Structure 1
Amino acid sequence: MGATMLQTAGFALGLLGVIAVIAATGMNNWSSQDREGDVVTSVYIYKGLWQTCEVATSGFTECRPFYTIIGLPGTFQAVRALMIVGIVMGAIAVLISICSLKCIKMGSTEDGTKANMTLACGIMFIIAGLCAIAGASVYANQIVSSFMMTTYNSGYGGGMGGGMGGMGGGMGGIGGTLTPRYTFGPALFVGWVGGAVLFIGGILGCLAYRGLVPDKSRFNAVAYKAPAQDRPVYEHSEGGRHDNQKYV
């Protein structure tokens, strides 16, 4: 019963983690414009993995996708790749986990096969969670580096120019008084939480493996031996005749 509960809990956490990672990957709020000390707030910029958005004071939002791949920084493309790998591995693990649940009968699947499937799903959940955490951490590191190296002019003209010029940056620019600074967006925290939930779900799946493996020792405890059959033994005399006949 304990192994079944661990297996079910690992599947549930893995499913929630995959949903959270998918949501984080599709969100546009990976980095948000830092408006501390900004006098003019007519334009607000936030960026995601796939597009950059501008919000005007009127409430109108305009989003522009990244049409190029080669022109983007290598770290930015690495973040995309890590998140996609995490989603793909997590989705495959969820599908396999459904078939490996002990409460679901799949033909003549043996308990040992389901235990191996559960272990494989647990490992895939762990890898997917690490990919999501690594992707969000790499992006956060770029935001911190850009924030520390960017000098922001809090004056009237600098705030206006920074708001209009931030549209062209990939993950936040470096140098110049017209470059806006960016801080962590909500999508980063969603990605971190989703990766952590995936990681915990994978650990529970690996722990459930030991309880799901059938105990084979009880089948090998007693060795079966066929009873000895009585067979005649003949002693031959010198003349070649059967003089005596013994049975054992």
Structure 2
Amino acid sequence: MGNMATEIVAFLLTISGWILVSSTLPTDYWKVSSVDGTVITTATFWSNLWKTCVTDSTGVSNCKDFPSMLALDAYIQVCRGLMIASVCLGFFGAIFALVGMKCTKIGGSETTKARLTVLSGFQFILSGLCCMTACSIYAHRITTDFFDPLFVAQKFELGAALFIGWAGSVLAEYSYSGAASFVTARNNHSKTANGLHKEPGAPSRQFGRNAYV
């Protein structure tokens, strides 16, 4: 029961991480900047992987989608690819984890379930690494421009989406160590069960000291 409860908690944590990672992809505020003035002229500029927008003090937003994927900056294209890969890996990892859980009735034998658990663990950790890499690349670009004294264009700061993505990555990667511990526990349990339940009449492999004397 202890291993099963740990398995369920790990599954819920990794699913929560995958949900956070998935919600990061369409989130608006990847980078944000404000222009303060009077109440009328205050505006907030923000961008994500798909568009750039400005929101005035009345809450009205004017957005412009990025016109062409081929004309985008390289770091945005890389972040898009990594985030999409992260969502896909987490989706299939969640399916394999659900099938491989000991408390489910599908997936076949214990050996098959253990292999599915390991596979889901690798997929979750890859999903978390993809998301963490994408958010880190985007954040590095923001901070590089912000602290560059020669950069004369508008400077941005880190948006909320980046912190959500980092948090989701940490939760998604939790399943890697969990999967390893579950497989170890199952294998030990199987070996113990096989040792205790021998077939009647099976020859014993333990011999006395003077067996051949």
Identity %: 26
Following superposition, the deviation at residue 56 of structure 1 comes to 1.5
- Closer/same/farther in 2, CA of residues 150 and 71 from structure 1, 3 Å limit: farther
| Contact 1:34/1:183, CA 8 A, preserved across alignment | no
1:64-120 superposed Cα distances (whole Å, 9 cap, x missing partner): 22121111111111111111111100010001111112111127x111111111111
Structure 1 runs (4+) deviating above 6 angstroms are: 220-223
Aligned to 1:193: 167
**SS in structure 1 at match of 2:190:** coil
Aligned to 2:209: none
Q: Distance in 1 between matches of 2:195 and 2:167?
A: 46
Unaligned runs of 5+ in 2: 204-213
Q: Distance in 1 between matches of 2:171 and 2:83?
A: 15
**Backbone CA RMSD of aligned residues:** 2.1
Following superposition, the deviation at residue 210 of structure 1 comes to 1.0
Q: How many residues were matched structurally?
A: 197
Correspondences of 1:63-212 after superposition (within 5 Å): 63-106=63-106, 109-149=108-148, 175-176=151-152, 179-212=153-186
Unaligned runs of 5+ in 1: 152-174, 226-248
Q: Distance in 2 between matches of 1:66 and 1:192?
A: 25
Instruction: Please say which structure displays the higher CA radius of gyration.
Output: 1
**SS in structure 1 at match of 2:102:** coil
1:32-60 superposed Cα distances (whole Å, 9 cap, x missing partner): 0154xx44643321000111111022221
Q: Which TM-score applies when normalising by structure 2? A: 0.84
| Contact 2:34/2:43, CA 8 A, preserved across alignment | no
**SS in structure 2 at match of 1:26:** coil
Q: Distance in 1 between matches of 2:149 and 2:47?
A: 17
Aligned to 2:52: 52
**SS in structure 2 at match of 1:17:** helix
Q: Which TM-score applies when normalising by structure 1? A: 0.73
